[in-house]
Amino acid sequence: MAESVTIARPYADAAYQLAKESGAQGLWSQRLQLLALIAQDGDMATVMSNPRLSTEQIAELFISLSNDNDAVLGNFVRTLAENRRLALLPEISRLFEMAKSQEEGVKEAVVHSAFPIDENQVAALLQQLEPRFGTRLIARVELDPSLIGGVRIAVGDQVLDASVRGKLDAMAVALNN
């Protein structure tokens, strides 16, 4: 995991700089998300690993599937193909979004919940958390049944644990001391 992030980061940074120079961060965000979906497709993974296909053929396939004729995007895809990095597109897209959010002053709050949370509950939770963290937040909800109940929220390196599992662990530590 850490290795793919390390390899993907320079490509994500380059894509962000290209997008920022042209003032098209939103457009590039959409483009990278689409390319990431293409790269994640099982059939495309087979195509990318096919030794009979040249990197140029694979790049052209990606470009044609994206329905985007932008020359800069085409060069970006060709560079990824030449370096055999097309499989990193989901990670590149994620890192691009992080850079975009950081510049916009928005942070991601990863909400771990034992049970599914609807959009209204997430919105109410974010409304309470934004003043605490002093920034605008976007939420990504992940289910974690081991929490038993409640939520654990991570914003950057800060964690707010309001889960039943967290309270039980705190009680266990207190009893052992």
The model's pLDDT over 39-93, given as tens digits with 9 standing for 90+, comes to 999 999 999 999 999 999 999 999 999 998 899 999 999 999 999 999 999 999 9
pLDDT of residue 156: 83
β-pairing, 136-143 vs 158-163, is unpaired
Contacts for 150 with CB less than 8 Å, ≥ 6 apart: 113, 114, 162, 163, 164, 165, 166, 167
Contacts for 166 with CB less than 8 Å, ≥ 6 apart: 147, 150, 152
Give the chain's length.
Answer: 177
Read off the pTM: 0.69
Where exactly are the structural domains of the chain?
2-101, 106-176
d(CA 113, CA 85): 34
What is the second-level CATH architecture of the domain 106-176? 3-Layer(aba) Sandwich (3.40)
143: β partners: 113
Tell the CATH topology of 2-101.
Answer: Peroxidase; domain 1 (1.10.520)
d(CA 104, CA 137): 11
Q: Residue 19: which of 94, 82, 97 has the closest Cα? A: 97
